[in-house]
Structure 1
């Protein structure tokens, strides 16, 4: 039976994994996996520090998914702490929060 990951809340993710800010105006997202991997390696990390940012199935929420993904991906981020299993999933932005 496949393991289904618990979704990590954005605030918990930010505190625990600490996305690396880029030099351009506190941005954290890069356009390509290769760019993100190069930054991770420059900082002494590797592929386990790279996350894909993807739109949810309905297109109204964003998720950070451990590692390289290509479906619905809009960019990539690097974190100080590496992911461990490769199935970690973060609710990066929830459009329902904007309606509250």
Structure 2
């Protein structure tokens, strides 16, 4: 069984590893220019990451033990519509958040 010291060692080691991986790509490129094709591709990173983070919480919500939840589906649809309509990431996040809490309160 792991004690608290072992847990903190793992947390610190993972933090250092994560920093090293990101620094090796971004920190060592200081003063250099990325090729244009790389810059075009990097613009799509947030669009690719956000659904990967949100989809499991909508499709299999832990709050309902994996049962269908109309509040989360509704909030995801509103966020999708706001994001597609306005192309504003923060607007989509806050719109979905407001819709989720409104639907949870109503249902």
Normalising by structure 1, we get a TM-score of 0.25
Higher strand share: 1
By relative contact order (CA 8 Å, sep 6+), the higher-ranking structure is 1
Larger gyration radius, structure 1 or structure 2: 2
